[in-house]
Amino acid sequence: MNIRLLSVVLACTLVGAAIILAPRAGKSQKDSTKTEATNSTGEAEFNEQLESVKKAMDAPALAGIEFFESRLNQSTGMAKTTWLDSLTSAWDRQMRPGISAEYVYRKAELTNTAEDWFAAGKRYLGISRFFQGEDQQALNERATICLEKANELKSGNNETKTMLGAAYVEGGKEPMKGIFLLREVIADDPENIDALLNLGFFSMQSGQYDKAEERFKTVVGLQPELAEVRLYLAEALQAQGKDDLAIKELKEIKKITSDSLLIQETDRRIGQIELNTKL
C-alpha cells in the first residue's frame, strides 16, 4: 500500500529538477529531427549534472557506481537491465531519487513491460510532489507518460489506474479524467485504500469536505491502525465546524500510535481547536 503521507521517503535529497526534466522519446513531437536534438541535449545535461554529483562523493561509493556504469556500457540488449538495477539501488543508497528515477526509466524503455513503466511512473510522481510550477509540471508529465504506458500494456490493474488517476488530477490538465479513473477503481474494489485516500485528498483540495470525511471514514473503518488517516479525517471534520468530532479523532490517534512526532502534531492540533473554540 502506498499511503501518500509516506511518499516523502522517496525525495530524501533531490539532485535538482533539471536532471530529470529533459523530454524523452515517447512524448509526441511533430518534428522528429527536433525530438532527436532535444533528447541529445537532455542526455548531455543529465551526464553533466551526474558528473557534478559524483565529484562530491566519497571514494568507495564512487568506485561502486563507476563499476556498475562500466558494466552497463559493456553490456548489450536485455543484459543491461542487471546493471540498470544496480545503478538504481546504488543511487537510492546515496539518497538521490532523481538519478535513480532516470535509470528506472531507462530500464522501462528497454523492457517495455507494464511493471517497469509503473515503477518509473511511481518514482516520478513521488518526486513531483516536492516541486512547484514548471518543474512540478514537467515531472508530473513524465510520470503520466510512464503510467499511461503501464496502463496500456496491462489494462485493468487497479494500482496503475489509481496512480495514473492521481497523476491526471495533480497535473491539473485533465483532473476529471483522473477522478473518473479513481471512481472506476472504487467501483471495482470498494475497499481500495489508495484510491479512497486519493479521492479524499482531492475532495479536501476542492473544498468538498463532506465527501472527504466520507472517504477517510471508510479508510479508518477498513484499517483503523492507520493513525495518520485520522489526521486527515479530523481536518475534514474541523473544516465543517465539527470541532468536537475532530478532537475525538485526534485523541484516538494517541491511543493507537507511539510515534512521538505524530503525537506532538496531534497535541498541537487539539490545542489549536480548543483555543479557537474558546475565542
Are 235 and 262 within 8 A, CB to CB?
A: no
pLDDT in tens, 224-250: 999 999 999 999 999 999 999 999 999
Query: Which has more pLDDT, 3 or 278?
Result: 278
Whether residue 103 is contained in a domain is answered as yes
Looking up residue 102, the CATH number of its domain turns out to be 1.25.40.10
Residues spanned by the domain of 179? 82-189
State the pLDDT at residue 39.
55
> C-alpha grid cell for residue 200?
479524499
Q: How far apart are the first and last CA of the chain?
A: 41
CB neighbour list of residue 57: distance below 8 Å, 6 or more residues apart: 65, 94
Whether residue 47 is contained in a domain is answered as no
Whether residue 102 is contained in a domain is answered as yes
State the pLDDT at residue 49.
87
Mean pLDDT (the chain, rounded): 87
pLDDT in tens, 119-129: 999 999 999 99
Q: How many domains does the chain have?
A: 1
Whether residue 99 is contained in a domain is answered as yes
Whether residue 147 is contained in a domain is answered as yes
Helix residue spans in the chain (DSSP H): 32-55, 59-74, 80-93, 97-111, 114-128, 133-153, 158-171, 175-188, 193-205, 209-222, 227-239, 243-256, 260-278
State the pLDDT at residue 256.
94
State the pLDDT at residue 81.
98
State the pLDDT at residue 127.
94
pLDDT in tens, 182-230: 999 999 999 999 999 999 999 999 999 999 999 999 999 999 999 999 9
State the pLDDT at residue 22.
40
Whether residue 53 is contained in a domain is answered as no
Whether residue 76 is contained in a domain is answered as no
Query: Which has more pLDDT, 27 or 143?
Result: 143
Q: What is the pTM of this model?
A: 0.83
pLDDT in tens, 106-121: 999 999 999 999 999 9
